[in-house]
Amino acid sequence: MSTPRDRRPLSLVQRAKDDAPEAEVRPLDWGIVRRLFGYTRPFARKRNWLIVLTLLRASQLPALAWMTALIIAGPISKHQLSPLFGWIAAYAVMAVLTDGLFHFRQRFALEIGEMVVGQMRSDIFDHVSRMPMSFFHRVKLGRILSRVTSDVESLRAGIEQVFFVGIVQLGQMVFAAAVMAWTDWVLFLVVLGLAPVLWLLNNHFRVRLSRDTRAQQESFSRVTATLAESINGIRVTQGFVRQTTNAGLFRSLLADHSRYSMGAARSSAILLPLLELNSQFFVAILLMLGGWQVLDGQVEIGVLITFFLFANQFFAPIQVLGNLYNQALVSMAGAERVFQLLDIKPDWEDAPSAVELPDPRVQAKSSADLAKARGARVEFRNVAFGYDAKQRVLHDVSFTAEPGQMIALVGHTGSGKSSIINLVSKFYLPTAGEVLIDGYDIRGITGRSLHRQSGMVQQSNFLFAGSVLDNIRFGRPEATEAEVRAAVEKLGCADMFDSLPQGLATVVSERGGGISAGQRQLVCFARALLADPRLLILDEATSAIDALTEARLQQALVTLLAGRTSFVVAHRLSTIRHADLVLVLDAGRVVERGTHAELLSLKKHYAALHEQFVRMGAA
Ligand SMILES: Nc1ncnc2c1ncn2[C@@H]1O[C@H](COP(=O)(O)OP(=O)(O)OP(=O)(O)O)[C@@H](O)[C@H]1O
């Protein structure tokens, strides 16, 4: 068995084809903005203060400009020295206030950004962890990684910068427009008349930029997805000497990404100078008209200076807003992808009426009761199942595993062994028929309560990066070192762990590097033993292990399984011989059942499989 797995070919060529671009989105979507804003609700006080500070700052900058204009047009142009000092002192106070507020605005914005980003990452993790296995067959690891990393990171800039800096800049523009209109409405009308030209020009380039930015992000997500898959599949890559081919394909994805990045950079390199040129063009027109009014004596020079100061306040934000708009597009695309992931509904969930699977060990009064309660009763009644609606992979499967029995599943590859185990673990629900655990229909009990009473040892013997000790107590983190040691001793393998460089404290890597295949398997056995499950699922490792270790593993296995109900996808004859019931599967059907001896005497499917086992063993 190879529990939950991806059956697509592990090839980068395939990946490049698989990764069709994600759905196009509107550049600015207020629904997404509102939803993002919802993330600031837990920090509403700070957020509201931030909004107040932002609005204040939006008025402070134009106020400073106005004070400058008043000082120039007033005491300076009228040569009044003593009022000048008063004005300058007022200006200095205003400047200190402005930058004091700036400090808090900046700090609050960064803090809120950080909190939102942290919350979002934690939501993605929670959401993904609760998904049924079918989700992990569909959604690639790399895609999940890029949601949590680059997409969320692009949102941070959106939250910290776009919104709050945007308000300041817009406020500044509105204030400046009001002062300009009040100072000289004719010149102001000229500014207003030319504004649509600027807007149309910007719009054209921004649509282009938005397209380029999305393409750039998608190509990057393909790069990260491919990287994640390549590292995961590094053994296969090296085993088939595909390094050069894969590196070439990876380079072509990088080249793709560079092309899109260059496209985005080119569009932005046209847009930004154009914006600047526009402002300068306006200034030229204003100089011409304003200069003529001053020369003609219609307007005082002080008024023209005021107008220019505010024209500057009006135009400067256009560029900043342009940059913020670019950032908003990037953030919007990131937010859309994050929300798409968060909105994926599981194919199925526990029914609202689902109850906890009772643990009979809790009620056991005598040690005899306790011994009986150590294993669960599992029954399949006419079960049919398919990973998708079109194709069934199990047909009419019925059997009963009494408490404490060991059921061995044997059959050729693809015969349905893993699928039976996926159903017992409630990783999937049967398409038809019933799976009963202790008489409870599996649909009516919660997955969590079932998993609390079950344990799993996978063929890959998956270990987390950390110490051997922590890996063993993964299912019961509160277990003491003494309890872990007791479990290891019970399995009769304490010496194998003691021989490690730092004993149980030895650190292993994600793929279990640092310890041998046999030791890795023992860690998984000890982990299962410590969790003390009533139902144990074991996918026997096929990896070659020397005869001595094999004998010790077998002994440890007998200890581990004693009294518990177990399902074993058996790859070793010695295990099958111990089974109370062997189910022989062929094309999703149970074609034979019985003990090893009974099945051998039938001289049919099992006998043929047995012969293969023996021959392989001899080889
Ligand atoms: N995630 C999946 N999505 C779609 N079909 C699947 C999936 N997993 C398995 N299958 C299909 O279901 C059928 C039964 O597969 P299953 O994994 O149960 O067989 P198995 O006996 O455990 O095989 P093996 O010994 O190779 O692990 C096969 O035809 C297989 O292609």
pLDDT greater than 80 at residue 117 = yes
The DSSP bridge pattern shows strands 406-411 and 565-569 to be parallel
| Ligand 1 centroid to residue 313 C-alpha, Å | 67
Outline where DSSP puts E strands in 443-564.
Answer: 454-457, 466-467, 507-508, 535-539
Query: Which pTM does this prediction carry?
Result: 0.69
Residue at 607: amino acid letter: A
| Ligand 1 centroid to residue 511 C-alpha, Å | 23
Sorted by sequence, the CB contacts under 8 Å of residue 25 that are 6+ apart come out as 214, 332, 333, 336
Q: How confident is the model at residue 566 (pLDDT cuts 50, 70, 90)?
A: very high
Predicted pLDDT at 346: 82
Q: What digits encode the pLDDT tens for the residues 459-504?
A: 777 788 888 898 898 878 888 889 899 888 888 888 888 888 888 8
Please give the number of the atom of ligand 1 that sits closest to the Cα of 1.
27
Q: What digits encode the pLDDT tens for the residues 184-199?
A: 888 888 877 877 777 7
| Ligand 1 centroid to residue 6 C-alpha, Å | 10
| Window from 48-57, 63-72, 507-516 with minimum mean pLDDT | 507-516
pLDDT greater than 60 at residue 5 = no
Outline where DSSP puts E strands in 186-239.
Answer: none
Closest CA to 154 of 318, 32, 327: 327
Predicted pLDDT at 26: 46
Rounded to the nearest angstrom, the gap between the alpha carbon of residue 202 and the centroid of all alpha carbons in its chain is 35
Q: What digits encode the pLDDT tens for the residues 64-96?
A: 888 888 888 788 877 888 888 889 999 999 999
Predicted pLDDT at 13: 40
Predicted pLDDT at 255: 94
| Ligand 1 centroid to residue 232 C-alpha, Å | 20
Q: What digits encode the pLDDT tens for the residues 232-242?
A: 778 777 777 77
Cα–Cα distance measured from residue 139 to residue 619, given in angstroms and rounded to the nearest whole number: 40
User: Residue of the nearest CA to atom 16 in ligand 1?
Assistant: 416
| Phi, psi for residue 567 in degrees, rounded to 5 | -115, 120
In this predicted complex, what is the ipTM? 0.96
Predicted pLDDT at 127: 93
User: Residue of the nearest CA to atom 3 in ligand 1?
Assistant: 387
The two three-digit tokens of residue 608, written as one number:
């043929």
Q: What digits encode the pLDDT tens for the residues 567-613?
A: 998 877 778 888 999 999 999 999 999 999 999 998 888 888 888 77
Please give the number of the atom of ligand 1 that sits closest to the Cα of 421.
18
For residues 265 and 212, the answer to whether their CB atoms sit within 8 Å is: no
| Ligand 1 centroid to residue 416 C-alpha, Å | 6
Cα–Cα distance measured from residue 124 to residue 338, given in angstroms and rounded to the nearest whole number: 8
For residues 176 and 62, the answer to whether their CB atoms sit within 8 Å is: yes
What residues does each domain of the chain span? 28-343
The two three-digit tokens of residue 462, written as one number:
């998956």
Predicted pLDDT at 282: 74
Mean pLDDT of the chain: 83
Residues framing ligand 1 (Cβ under 6 A): 1-2, 7, 137, 387, 393, 411, 413-419
Q: How many CB atoms lie within 10 A of CB 184?
A: 23
Q: Choose one of 1, 131, 458, 591 to mutate for the ligand 1 pocket test, by most ligand atoms within 8 angstroms of C-beta.
A: 1
pLDDT greater than 60 at residue 25 = no
pLDDT greater than 60 at residue 216 = yes
Calculate mean pLDDT across residues 170-188. 85
CATH number of 28-343: 1.20.1560.10
pLDDT greater than 80 at residue 528 = yes
Q: How confident is the model at residue 7 (pLDDT cuts 50, 70, 90)?
A: very low
User: Residue of the nearest CA to atom 31 in ligand 1?
Assistant: 414
| Ligand 1 centroid to residue 582 C-alpha, Å | 19
Predicted pLDDT at 513: 66
DSSP string, 224-250: HHHHHHHHHTHHHHHHTT-HHHHHHHH
Predicted pLDDT at 93: 93
pLDDT greater than 90 at residue 405 = yes
Cα angle vertex 461, ends 569, 419, to 5°?
Answer: 35
The DSSP bridge pattern shows strands 507-508 and 440-441 to be unpaired
Calculate mean pLDDT across residues 517-527. 86
For residues 554 and 473, the answer to whether their CB atoms sit within 8 Å is: no
